[in-house]
Every structure is written in structure tokens, then in C-alpha cells.
Structure 1
Amino acid sequence: MRIGLLGTGPWAERVHAPVLAEHPGIEFAGVWGRRPEAAAALGAAHGVPGHADLDRLLAEVDAVSIALPPAVQADLAVRAAEAGCHLLLDKPVALTVPDARRVVDATRTHGVASVVFFTVRFGGEQMPWIEKQTALGGWFTGRSDWLGSVFAPGSSSPYAASPWRQDKGALWDVGPHALSLLLPVLGDAAQVTAVAGPLDTVHLVLRHVGGASSTLALSLTAPVAAGGTGMELRGSNGVAHLPERGEGPLAALHRALDALQDSARTGEPHPCDAAFGLRIVEILAAAERSLADGGPVEV
């Protein structure tokens, strides 16, 4: 699979480009960015061309790996799908439901595979754990905490300068991660209630279609000493805790690329495809309405 990278920011530079350059079975074919000089520099660092012309890159590849802000991603994903390129998407797929739906429609119309890169969902220990808990069933309730410190005093995060994170906060940045783990186990969400916490912190309560409930605590402004992630399930089989993350996003991206290749080869949709990404956007948008209006919102 010949694959091009769309994006030149810290996520593209630190994660996508190195993985694309070393992944077996992948030919890293080039980089496009909104700043041509940055695309040329990132491409040169990995021995591939930087492209100022997106259409030229799309014509030369089988797939694209997108590492761009969500408000930018949707239009480019549709454009790539129209060119017949399979899509490795970042989360969230878009910042509005109509934009996310356009991506899904494009993948279906043009018959391309898609995978949304939820880092923990593709974790080496987390993937089999999710599969095991889903197969066990009988879960009564779940809890997921994603307390980041991107914007906290003393943070050295390279993503603190991200305008879309500053604007949309934890709900849209880490909310997709938490939902990507809870939904496969507890089932789709039927209702969401959101309550604002300190700064950008948001607390969600979900009612799932099968009767289970879950709570989420999401933040990018937690004190550095208080940051961390965790997930707990309680049900007829007892209590289960998500394994702690023992690896970084690079290993997870390798698995996401494997998943995209498998889906492209077999024609079978992956569980984390664009349609799943759309569902998460629908839940996040409902949570925003709950924050604005108060009370539960059906999704």
C-alpha cells in the first residue's frame, strides 16, 4: 500500500511520519501540508517528497494518513475518498455531525476503507481486553476518567498551542478516546447528560441501549500531579479495570495501519471505521447541547 501523509504538525512529525517510514508492507510515498515548506522539510527527514499539490499526491497513493485538525480533516478526507484513497483518520472525525456524515458518505460512495486512530483502542494490551469484556457481557455500569494536563500550569505538552483544543477542550479531544473504549463493551449510547466542571473539565453520564450506564470525567486542565486515565467496569462478572498504558502511540499506529490494510484487502468494515467515528461525533454534539441547555439529550 502506497500511503501519503496529510499534515506537518507535532502529531504528524512525532507519530505518523516515523511509523509510515518504518511500517512493513507500507510504502511511505510523500507528505502534503498547508505550508509547503513544512511538507518539504518533513518529507526530506524521511526520504520522501513534500507536495504542494494535494491532487498530485492523491493520484500517486492508495491511502492517506491524516494528521490535521478535525475542522480541516473532513473536507480533505472527502477529497481523498473521491480520489479512491483509503483513509486513516484522526479523532474526532469532524467537529459537526454533517461534516462527519459527509466523510462516511464518501467512503461508501467510493468504496474505500477507513479506520479512525483511537490510540488506546489500538493498544497492545487494551485491544484483547476490550474483546474479552465485550464477549463476557453482563456489565451493569462503567466509569472512564481521562484527565489530561495539556493546559495545566507546568505542562510541557507540544499540543498546548493547538487552537482547536483550546476552543473545543477535553470533550472533543479526549472524549472520543473514552467513548471508543466504553461503547464496544456497554453498547451504543441512547442518552447523554453533560455537566461542566472546573475550567474545560466535563462530566458525562451515558445511558446505553442495553440498559447499562456509564460516567466519564474529561479534562485537559487537570493539575499535572492529578492527571491520568483509567476505566472500570462492574457487572455480573465482577470488576474489571482497563490495563494501564505501557506503550506510546507509535505502536498503536502500526496496528491501526494493519487494520486499514486488512479492511482494504477484504472489503470488511473495521469496528473503528468512519461510521463509528460519526457516531462518536453525534454523541459529543449531543453532550454540547446538554451543556448549553441542561438536562439529558437523546442520541
Structure 2
Amino acid sequence: MSKQRIGLLGTGPWAHRTHARALAAHPDVELSGVWGRRAEAAAALAAEHGTRAYAGEGDGEEGVDALFAASDAVAFALPPDIQAPLAVRAAAAGCHLLMDKPVATEPAKARAVAEAVGREGVASVVFCTMRFAPGSAGWIEEQAARNDWFTAHAHWLGSLFDQGRKDSPPDSPWRREKGGLWDVGPHALSVLMPVLGDVSEVTAVRGEPDLTHLVLRHTSGVTSSATLSLSAPQAGAGAGVEFRGASGTATLPEGKDDPVVSFTAAIDALLESIRTGDPHPCDARFGLRLTEILTRAETSVRENTEKGEG
């Protein structure tokens, strides 16, 4: 397969540190351009990697539709509810999709993406980091091969909005609004679900400021739990998953993977799906499922909060 032309949508910190670097360095990819809502930011990132900048919502020579026309696929580093409608447009233009999680924060928007992928016959991958990171991807497959699990617990406690941190957190309005449930919740679910099955029931309660506790029932009959936050004290932050079963326990390997390496693996997965026509387990349909589950959790938080106030 000849090099795939992949364009990048987004110019924020993750686009700079991870997406653009991985795309530009991939031997089977030509970085076909960078699109951003701010023309100057798109121009700076594009110049850094020797490609063309695009900006604007329309179909002019410099707009986002022009990038779609110049690309075989597009990668997204955008807030979810900006990503989703652009992904629908990209699929309609025949572009394969490499999306960030969550695909959207509203089921209707995520469903529109999944339907566009199916209708247009394009490949899709949602970048759930743990499913692609070298230190965790193989481990998840090993646990999924076992069927004796009794329960599991995941915790993803980020300190992005820790009020005691000395540096200023990156500007991310959607993360501040939606909290850990939506930002790190997909990480926890992307590990629990391939091992224990889809989620059939979810109950959630929230503590201040955004600490969310989930209790999940899976289609396998097993129950699990997850604790999520973006406002943990830095000294108490961390992530982990533990499965417990008849044969003992299994704990997610510790250590940080290089996000560029993990995103490169996601690029590889998209290229393989394009080549074979086989859908990836973390495709747009999986992205839709994550949005549906997190929406149910958000509803449960609201209902349980109202009960506590009643």
C-alpha cells in the first residue's frame, strides 16, 4: 500500500506533542496538511512539519473541506463536540478517521459519526490510549483470554485541575466542564470492557469537585467499579486497573508509555483497517458505545444527587 495522505485537525498541545510528531515521522504516512480554527496556529504547526496549513470552516482553497479533498484520512486533536460533526463531513468526503476519545459527549452526535462511517465505507479508529500503548495493549489481550474473572476495579485520578498545583493547567474548557467522567472515563472503560464485556447497567455518584464513582454490570454477569477525577491532589494522582478471579489477581503494568509511540500504534491500526477492510475493535461504533455509557452515568449522577438533596 502506498503512503496514505493523512491530515491533522487541531493545533493544541496534544496536536503539537503527539499527533503531528507521530504522523510526520510515520514511514507510511504523508502529513497532508494541518487545519485549525486559528489560522496563525495552523500555519505555525504546519511550518514546523513542512506541510500546508488550512483554516476556516468552508470549502474554499484554505478551508477544512480542502484538507479533506487533499487527504485519504484525517486525524483529530479537537474537543469532542467539535470533532464529531467534522468527522461526519470528513467521512462524506471519503476520508478514513482517526479520532480522539470521546468521539462526542452526546449520543446523537456520536451515532451520526458511526452511521457516516458505515454509510461511506471508511475505516475508523478511536484513540483510546491504553488499547495501543505497548505496556498495556498486550496485557489487556491476555486478560480478555481468561474467563474466570469475579470483579475488577479501575481508578484514573488526574491532577489537571488540582487547586494546589503550582503551574497553570492547560486551557481545556470542555474538560473543565465535563470533568474526569468524560476525559478519563473512556480510558477505564476501554480496559474493562474488552475483558468483562459490554456494560449493561451503570450507577454513578459524584463527590467534589469532580470525583465520580461508577458501579458497572457487564454482559458477562460480572460487576466492576471505577473511580475517576481530573482534580485529584498531585500527590494522590495515578491510574490503575486490577482484575480478580479464580486464578488470582492481575494488575495493569505500571509505567508511562510515550504517547507518540502509542499514537503511532493507532496510526498502524488505521492503516491495517484500510488495507484489509476489517473494522478495528476501537472503531466509531465503540466510540458511540462509550458515549452512550458515559451519558447514562451522567444521568445517574444527576438522579442520585437529586435524591440526596430531596
Counterpart in the other structure of 1:7: 10
Choose which of 16, 29, 33 in structure 2 pairs with 1:30: 33
Aligned residues of 2:34 and 2:54 also touching (Cα < 8 A): yes
Alignment partner of 1:136: what SS? coil
Count of equivalent residues:
295
Question: What are the equivalent positions in structure 2 for 1:31-180 lying under 5 Å apart?
Answer: 31-52=34-55, 53-155=63-165, 160-180=170-190
Counterpart in the other structure of 2:24: 21
AA aligned opposite 1:29: S
AA aligned opposite 1:120: M
AA aligned opposite 2:7: G
Choose which of 247, 254, 261 in structure 2 pairs with 1:251: 261
d(CA) in 2 for partners of 1:139, 1:235 = 4
d(CA) in 2 for partners of 1:158, 1:230 = 26
Q: Deviation per CA, 1:87-133, whole angstroms, max 9, x where unpaired?
A: 00000000100000000000000000000001122110211111111
Percent identity of equivalent pairs: 57
d(CA) in 2 for partners of 1:46, 1:119 = 23
Counterpart in the other structure of 2:297: 287
Q: Which runs of 5+ in 1 are unaligned?
A: none
AA aligned opposite 2:204: A
Moved over 6 A (4+): none
Aligned residues of 1:139 and 1:212 also touching (Cα < 8 A): yes
Counterpart in the other structure of 2:273: 263
Structure 2 CA distance for partners of 1:237 and 1:149, relative to 1, 3 Å = same
Structure 2 CA distance for partners of 1:120 and 1:146, relative to 1, 3 Å = same
Alignment partner of 1:234: what SS? strand
Q: Deviation per CA, 1:200-227, whole angstroms, max 9, x where unpaired?
A: 1100000111110111000000000000
d(CA) in 2 for partners of 1:47, 1:159 = 29
AA aligned opposite 1:109: R
TM-score (norm 1): 0.96
d(CA) in 2 for partners of 1:85, 1:211 = 38
Alignment partner of 1:218: what SS? strand
d(CA) in 2 for partners of 1:264, 1:158 = 40
d(CA) in 2 for partners of 1:24, 1:156 = 40
d(CA) in 2 for partners of 1:95, 1:39 = 25
103-112 or 116-125: bigger deviation: 116-125
d(CA) in 1 for partners of 2:220, 2:191 = 16
Structure 2 CA distance for partners of 1:251 and 1:134, relative to 1, 3 Å = same
AA aligned opposite 1:21: A
d(CA) in 1 for partners of 2:150, 2:93 = 45
Aligned residues of 1:151 and 1:160 also touching (Cα < 8 A): no
d(CA) in 2 for partners of 1:176, 1:248 = 19
TM-score (norm 2): 0.93
d(CA) in 2 for partners of 1:199, 1:244 = 27
AA aligned opposite 1:72: I
d(CA) in 2 for partners of 1:170, 1:112 = 31
Q: Deviation per CA, 1:233-283, whole angstroms, max 9, x where unpaired?
A: 001221000111332211100000000000011110000001001001000
Aligned residues of 1:143 and 1:231 also touching (Cα < 8 A): yes
d(CA) in 2 for partners of 1:246, 1:287 = 28
d(CA) in 1 for partners of 2:95, 2:220 = 36
Alignment partner of 1:8: what SS? coil
Q: Deviation per CA, 1:156-179, whole angstroms, max 9, x where unpaired?
A: 677542000010000000001110
Structure 2 CA distance for partners of 1:108 and 1:158, relative to 1, 3 Å = farther
